[in-house]
Every structure is written in structure tokens, then in C-alpha cells.
Structure 1
Amino acid sequence: MDMKSTDGVKSTEDLTEKDLKGKKVLVFGSGISGEAACSLLSEEGAHVVLYDGNGSLDPDKIREKVPGETEIVLGEFPESLLDEISMTVMSPGVPTDLPVVNRMRERGIAIWGEIELAYVCGKGDVLAITGTNGKTTTTALLGQIMKNYNEKTFVVGNIGNPYTSVVPETTEDSVIVAEMSSFQLETVRSFRPKVSAILNITPDHLNRHHTMEAYIAAKERIAENQTESDFCVLNYEDEVLRAFAEEVKAQVLYFSSRRKLNRGVFLDGTQIICEIGEKIPVCDVSELQILGTHNHENAMAAVAMAYAYGVPVDVIRKTLKEFAGVEHRIEFVAEKNGVAYYNDSKGTNPDAAIKGIQAMNRPTVLIGGGYDKDSAYDEWIRSFDGKVKKLVLLGATREKIAETARRLGFTDIVMADTFEEAFEKCVKYAQPGDAVLLSPACASWGMFKNYEERGDKFKELVNQL
């Protein structure tokens, strides 16, 4: 089953473009990924232009984070740049269907993503994870398993550490564990993980992808360049992924929380079993520190990926028992005045937020709402199932969610204008023995920079009680 470095060659028609020396390359987007891409391109000898359409950004602050020779352009895109650049590296937060990006395509300018740049310039084997929910937990867990097996492991991607930032440190015997968003996967060209995984697919980011079909297609690109010597781990209980398995060139390994499998990782009662060649008990779910069926699925996906790569079961087992979960995902903060406070700020879509509610075992006062990603909230409201005693809503989606809730018969709703006001109302309505849960079912944009900042604010308010 060990598959480390089966060929060592990254087959790609674009591999000649690794020689970036002297080329003028545009980095589109000045966020953390854009900054890391600028640094790597500069190390590779490229002339780097960093562009961001937000003309109100402070160029001096940006310059502090990128190599000194980087050219910075803000505001309206200068068309003359199209005559000068050889390629563009897109930051994941920038839509790839912008008119200026389409004009680049028409001119034949290569359009890469930060992940593609890192893959082409980096060394080592890649284990890559995507899915609507569970990516961060699975990536963190697999990253810990791999670090316990190979100290030259890097955990990168959508988890908050740009892949490009670690490339200079990678060697042929490195392992890169990468969390991949649909935004990052849109721009892959030659990216080929040794082991890939798609955990699940439910509606999300439809404001960016426009259709469910486009969103699914972006997720499935994780396995696009894999071959028969690679592995693709899929959730057997996801109908979309079972159908996708018929198209995958890599060897498919399933995981399932509902049935025993002939080949894969599954739950037999409360035992996680790995049956790939031989039947191996891994551990009992009662030995895990992460709660809920969704986390058992995340654990099984990590087990399948690690085992496919050749990690001994004793290393996998030990790490599973030690792993305490990730920040902002059904994270217990504190108990104050008999009320338990949970930070699930990473519940940024309805399906993820449903998992947060399912994990509660007390009457719950719930904070919901935020940025509108064109999600539907019916299933989220239905999942309240008597657990949610009060719903405190804020943000751009609050009226839409309230309307959905009332239509479905849930009327214990309170509106808030600020996050602090929402928290104060939760404290007011929660009684000893209750829980207060931040699990918004929406992104944080508009009120916070990201879900981490939102979760940190919640924890700060809890600890001030």
C-alpha cells in the first residue's frame, strides 16, 4: 500500500514555465495568498506586479509584506499591463470570471492559482483534501498523523498557511498536507496529489460559482490529474461522490459512517475499521476527543489517506487518540453562570451549522446570520428539532433567515444590529443548564475579516463575563 514517490515526476505541459526568471508575472489579489505568491515568484527571479482592485488600500502597508522590488498597482486595472505580463497568479478570493481575467484568456496569458504555482515550484508528495465541510478538521488531523510519521510535513492551503510560503523549505522527501477550497481548485492545471479526498458536497459559495454543477466541477478537479498509481478517498454516503468515483482514474477508497465496506474505512458499531487488503481495527470512537458523527467521518477520511500513503496503523491510532480538534469548530469556550458557551464560527454555511446544532446536548440559544452567499436555510431551521430555544439573528441575512424560520413554524427570534448586541441578548435569554452557540450558517464578511476574527470576538466576550 505504501506509495511514496512512485514516479517523482510532475507531468505537465506547463512545466517549462517553472523557469520564471525574467518573466513579468501579475499577482491578482493582495491577501495572504497573494503576498506569499509575490515572495515565491521573486525568489524564482520573476518581475512581480501585485494588483488589487481596491483603490483604498494603503500601498505602504502592502509593501511591508512583499519583496521590495514588487510593483504595486491598486484601483482600476491598467490595460497596458496586458501587453507586458507573461502570466497571472490568481489569489483564491478573486473571481476567475472577471472581465479583465477573460481578456487575459483571450490574449493567451497563462492563468494560474497560488496552489498551481506552489506545486510546480515545490518538491515532495502532496496529500490534498476538499469538501464542503470538515476540510479543516481532517487536514489538521491528517497533518498531525503525517508529522508523527515524517517530520518534514507541511500543513498548508485554505487552513491559513499559504502553500507558496513553504515551497523554499520543501525537499523531495517532504509531505505537503493541503486543504483545498473550490476557489483554489478552479485554477489548477497540473496539480496532482498522491492522495486526494473529497469529504462531501452540499450547496455553498453559489454566489461565486453560480450553479451547483460548477461548484461540484471545481471540487472534483482535485483528482483531475491523478493516475492509477494515486488514491482518491471519497464519502460513500454522498451520491454525487459515488457517481464521481466512476470517472476517477486513481484508485478509489471509500469511507462510511453508515455501512460496512468491502474495501475502505468504516464504522462497525463504535469501532473504526480499516479494511484495505486486511481488516484492521483502528480505534473506538469513544477514544476520540472530537465529537459527533461528522467528526467520525473526518477521522475515517484521514485514516484512509494516511494508510494509503503507507503510514503504520499504530502511528495513525496514537494520533487519533491525541487529536483535540481545531479552533472555531464546535469549540467549548467556557461555562459561565451554569451556561456552556460554544464557538462554531467555522459553521459558515447551513450544512456545517447543522453539525453544530446536532452536537449540542442542552437547550440552546443560537447566534445566526452574516454575509449572504445565496444559501437556503430551510434544512438548517428544520435541524433545530426542539434544541434551539431562541435564535438571535444579525447581518445581511437576518431577514431572509427570519422569514424562512417563521414559514417553518419557528418564531422565537430576536434581531440584533451588532455582534456585541447579539451576544448580550444570548446572555439575557440563556438559563443555567443551557448552551449558547455561535454557529451562524453564514460567512463573516462585512462584519469581520474572516470567521477566525468572529470566533475570537465571541471568545473574548465570553471570557469577559
Structure 2
Amino acid sequence: MSQKILVAGSGKSGIAASRMILKTGDEVVLYDSNDALNKDELSEQFKGEGSFSVLLGELKKEDLAGVDLCVISPGISLDAPFVAVLNEENIPIWSEIQLAYHHARGKLLAITGTNGKTTTTALTGEIMKAFYDHVFVVGNIGIPYTEEALKTTEDSVTVAEISSFQLETITDFRPHVSAILNITPDHLNRHKTMDCYIKVKESITKNQGAEDSCVLNYDDPVLRAFGSTVKSKVVFFSSREALKEGYCLDGDMIIRNHEGVREDIVSVHELKLLGRHNHENVMAAIAMAVEAKVPMEVIKKAVCEFKAVEHRIEYVAEKSGVKYYNDSKGTNPDAAIQAVKAMPGPTILIAGGYDKESEYDEWIESFDGKVRYMVLLGQTREKIAECAARHGFTNVMYAEDMQEAVSVCASYANNGDYVLLSPACASWGMFKCYEERGEIFKECVRNL
């Protein structure tokens, strides 16, 4: 018997979810609180695909007649007014990844954490593709899980980047291999407290059993403690500690210690990725691949060939002896700390953007003499400048747009310096998304 499903949100994930639901023979009501959208244009996208209708503006109880389920897009907060209406009517709310999981088949590897998700997901996907015939890389990395779920088979492997927003409304979502890379303050404007944010991240493991695996960062004290509570097999990695069991660094060598046997895997000098945080991402990807039964020789080859993902400490160009790096995906202070640490020499930093109620003290302190100047953009520029001044960093300039920011950096940079876009803030307000911000930065650099 077919269901009537309300899909909340008409963005990328909402469209993908609607299309998948129609393919399974269920009815879709696409809902968006923005009543300025064009209902006819939205409907036209699904012409001939099944029973589809559009609902805009305020959601009323009478609109929910016959609705069995709501699938909510990750960008929508559970504090949104229409969610209260759904709760009053006792309509279950699923995330887009929960819907996809409900229909998907095969092996699932799922990665979350505050930072490093995209790099680790992309790398894990490349390793899987080197060994398995049918691999899908989905989720927060850019391709909605619902866009690929119906293509999966019992023999396929899906690698998914999972955000805290997507985890808020899972029910039986269960990866065969999960990973939590780290947990540092982020999205507190939505999750309210750090404790709530941590619990949501950790929920990626809540349905796993003894036959499943969970990869955790031993250097994160929250995750180290959490490891003793997980029902699945736990595999630790560390860039700072020598682990008797797990993956760690011995000097410049990534090694695996397992059941008393040491295995040298790869030197960090063989990698094309910069920075200790990327060495951690590599260890996490290796650990997940081993749990997915990929031979180590296949893993090593894929790891050595892998290049940085776009917008994550991405090399752009060298102009007049100055190297430019795009880290637009550094949307919180901890990610931006890792990018600054990865720069090999004196750095001029472009930062600022939308305020997610982050604190910037630790980030400013991480400059440690390496950052010569900081050029600030967006809503947070005064807040960041004030924080920097409290820590004695006063080489701060403002820019009205990215072109001005890049021009200022070029004029102040010396031969051998590095210019880094790593905003420590979201892109909203000035840009549609971090990808657009990064593309505009790269275009400005190329035009110097």
C-alpha cells in the first residue's frame, strides 16, 4: 500500500528525496515555508513521475490529512514552526539519509565528525573504488544519498559523509563501518549546547552491533571515553599517542599495531596531503577500509595517489613567488586552526563570514607568529578583530568583498609567503555556499 509522504525543503536533498519516493510508488507533497517560491516551476520538475503536489507557506493541521511520514531536509531546524504541527499530529520525521537507508542495499560506511569529513569520505571512496566494482560516494559531500540509494545492490558499497543535521532524525540507520573523526564546537546556533552536539554526533553508532565496526580518534578525550560504551568493535587511530592496538604515527610512518604485530603502512612524505590533521584523516580511511576487507596493498596505492579535495587546503596557484591555498570548507575555528598549521611558512589569512556563535580565541592563539596579516570579511569581522586584539594580534584589515581581500593580500605578501582563505565561519550572507566562496577566491587569484 502506497504512503503519502511530506518532503520538507525544496533544495537539493528535498528534490532528490521526492524523486526517489515517486520511484518507489509513494505519493509526495513537497513542502516549503517560503511562499515566494514558484509552485508551477517546482511541479514541472516532476511532471509525469507520479503523484506529486506542492505546498508553500504556513503548514496547517488540515494540510496533513492522510500524511504518513515527513522527510526533512538537513538545512531545516527541528525548531521550525511547522515541526511543532507535525509533532502535534504524531507524524514521524525522518532525515533524508534515513529514507535512503530504508531503501538502500549493500555495505554502508558512514563518516561524521566536526572536521575532515569530506577529505576522509572522498579518500575512503577512492580506496573502495580501487577494490570493489560498484561504489557510491554520497551525503554531505555533495550527492544526496537518496539520489543513489535505489541503484545500490547487495554487492555495492556506499560511502557516506554524514552531518549532525542529518543524524538528528535517524531511526534505524546502521552503518557496517562508522567513523567519528573528532568533535569540537560547531553549529551551536542550532544544537544549543556542546553536550547535545556531541550526543547527536555519537548517534551514528546507536544501531550498530557486535558485527559492525566504529573508528574513533583516540586523541579526542570525548571519543576515547565514548569508545568504551559502543556496542560495535572499536578501532582507534592517533597522531599523538603510540597505540598498542590501532593506527598511529611512529615518526613519519603511519603504522598499524594489531594483536602484537606491527605493520608499516605508508610514510607521510608519500602522501599528497598537507598537515597532521590530514594524516589523521588518512589513518581513519585506512582503518575503515581494513574493516571493509580491502587488502592493504590496494589501500596503500590509493592513499598515495589521492589529492586534496576541492576547497579543503586546495593549492590554487603561485603568483609572484606567493602560493595561494583555498580552504573555504574551513567553516569553523577548529578547521581553520588545522589549515593555518598546515601552511609551511609566513601566511596572510582571509577569514570571516556568517556567525555560528563560535568562539575564536583558540584559533587566534594558533597563529603563533606564522600569520602576518589577517583580512576580514562578512558579518563576523568586528567580532574576530576584537578577539584578535585581546590576544595582541592587531595586523587586521577589512575588505568588502573577495576581490578586494585577494588584492590586499597580494599587495602585502612577500616572496615565499602563503595566502590562505580559511574563514572559520560559514559562507551564508555573502555567498550561497562554501563552494561558491572558494570558486570566487580561486577566480580572483587567477586574475591577479
TM-score clears 0.5: yes
3-state secondary structure, aligned to 2:228: coil
Give the whole-Å Cα distance in 1 for the aligned partners of 2:39 and 2:412. Answer: 46
* 1:59 and 2:39 aligned: yes
Kept after mapping to 1: 8 A contact 2:60/2:85? no
2:219 and 2:238 in contact (8 A); partners too = yes
AA partner of residue 190 (structure 2): R
Distance 1:228 1:196, change over 3 A: same
Amino acid at match of 1:301: A
Q: Are 2:180 and 1:198 equivalent residues in the alignment?
A: yes
TM-score, normalised via structure 2 length? 0.97
**1:279 partner SS:** strand
Deviation track 1:408-457 (CA, whole Å, cap 9, x = no partner) reads 11111111222222222222222222221100000001111111110000
Give 1:291 shift.
Answer: 1.1
Q: By how many angstroms is 1:36 displaced?
A: 0.5
- Supply the RMSD in Å over aligned alpha carbons: 1.3
Higher mean Cα deviation, 69-78 or 92-101? 69-78
Letter in 2 for 1:455: G
Greater displacement, 315-324 / 103-112: 103-112
Does residue 239 in structure 1 map to residue 239 in structure 2?
no
Secondary structure at the aligned position of 1:245 is classed as helix
Task: Specify which of 102, 116, 120 is matched with residue 138 of structure 1.
Answer: 120
Q: Which amino acid aligns with 2:7?
A: V
Partner residue in 2 for 1:389? 372
Whole-Å Cα distance in 1 between the matches of residues 206 and 25 of structure 2? 30
Residue 13 of structure 2 corresponds to: 33
Structure 1 residue 344 corresponds to structure 2 residue 308: no
Q: 2:413 aligns with which of 430, 445, 454?
A: 430
The sequence identity of aligned pairs, in percent, is: 58
For the Cα contact (< 8 Å) 2:265–2:300, is it kept in 1?
yes
Alpha-carbon deviation of 1:316?
A: 0.5
Deviations 1:104-144 (A, max 9, x none): 12322111010000001111110000000000000000000
Whether the aligned pair in 2 keeps the contact of 1:35 and 1:66 (CA below 8 Å) is no
Which residue is 1:5 aligned to? none
- Structure 2 contact 245–257 (Cα < 8 Å) conserved: yes
Shift of the 346–260 alpha-carbon distance from structure 1 to 2, 3 Å rule, reads same
Give distance in 2, aligned partners of 1:427 and 1:64. 47
1:238-257 alignment runs, 5 A limit: 238-257=220-239
Mapped to 2, the partners of 1:112 and 1:23 lie a distance apart of 14
Tell me the CA shift for residue 64 of structure 1. 4.9
Bigger drift between 274-283 and 231-240 goes to 274-283
| SS of residue paired to 1:342 | strand
Contact 2:59 2:85 in 1 (8 A): no
Any conservation in 2 of the 1:26–1:51 contact (CA below 8 Å)?
A: yes
2:395 is the alignment partner of 1:415: no
SS of alignment partner, residue 85 of structure 2: helix
Partners of 2:412 and 2:53 lie apart in 1 by: 53
The one-letter code matched in structure 2 to 1:49 is V
Q: How many angstroms apart in 2 are the aligned matches of 1:303 and 1:345? A: 26
2: CA distance, partners of 1:164 / 1:453: 24
Does the Cα contact within 8 Å between 2:58 and 2:82 map onto a contact in 1?
A: no
Q: How big is the shift at 1:189?
A: 0.4
- Give the counterpart of 1:44 among 7, 24, 27: 24
Q: How does 1:25-424 map to 2 (within 5 A)?
A: 25-66=5-46, 68=48, 69-277=51-259, 278-424=261-407
Q: Residue 335 of structure 1: CA displacement?
A: 0.6
- CA contact 1:42–1:67 (8 Å) conserved in 2: no
Q: In structure 2, what is the Cα distance between the partners aligned to 1:60 and 1:230? A: 46
Query: CA separation of 1:65/1:159 partners in 2, compared to 1, >3 Å: closer, same or farther?
Result: farther
Could you list the per-position Cα deviations for residues 338-381 of structure 1 after superposition, in whole angstroms to 9, with x for gaps in the alignment?
Answer: 21111010100000001111111222111110000000000111
When normalised by structure 1's length, the TM-score is 0.93
Long gaps (5+) in structure 2: none
Give the whole-Å Cα distance in 2 for the aligned partners of 1:65 and 1:273: 51
Equivalent residues, number: 445
Alpha carbons of 1:91 and 1:67: their partners in 2 closer, same or farther (altered >3 Å)?
farther
CA separation in 1, counterparts of 2:46 and 2:225?
A: 44
Query: Does the CA-based 8 Å contact 2:61-2:89 persist in structure 1?
Result: no
Q: Secondary structure at the match of 2:257?
A: strand
Contact residue 402 and residue 444 of structure 2 kept, 8 A: no
Report the equivalent of 1:439: 422
Aligned to 1:3: none
Q: Which amino acid in 2 is paired with 1:448?
A: F
